[in-house]
Amino acid sequence: MLEGTVVKLGELDLVVPRVPLKAFRCHPEWFAKIDSMSGIMQPDDVTAIVSVVYSAIERNYPDMTIEQVEDLLDIGNVGDMLKVVMGPGSGEAGRP
């Protein structure tokens, strides 16, 4: 298992690593979409967010599906999850 941040999603406690560089190389459009987001989320914003978060989670949980990740993400946790998978540092979610 790769090192990562411990995150509670639903009833699951997951160790979530950072997004792999392969995702940046293979899907630059996901990151461009996230970088350009402002205001109200659009459906293609959600697709990019879920894809990026999934690419990180599947590194430690290869049996988890993208649909399961999409079901676990919500308006309340999506911002924190993006910080976990793309942000600097490590440790538990919510720690500085």
Convert the pLDDT of each residue in 21-54 to its tens digit.
999 999 999 999 998 988 888 888 999 999 999 9
Sort residue 89 into left (φ over 0), alpha (ψ -120 to 50) or beta: left
pLDDT of residue 37: 87
Give mean pLDDT, residues 76-95. Answer: 75
pLDDT of residue 87: 84
- Pick from 73, 29, 36, 40: nearest CA to 54: 73
Q: What is the domain partition of the chain in residue ranges?
A: 5-86
Between the two ends of the chain, the Cα-to-Cα distance in Å is 23
pLDDT of residue 16: 97
Q: How far apart are CA 7 and CA 37, in angstroms?
A: 24
Q: Is the pLDDT of residue 94 over 60?
A: no
Q: pLDDT band at 91, cuts 50/70/90?
A: very low
Tokens describing residue 6: 């411990």
Q: Answer yes or no: are the C-beta atoms of 52 and 23 closer than 8 Å.
A: yes
Q: Is the pLDDT of residue 71 over 60?
A: yes
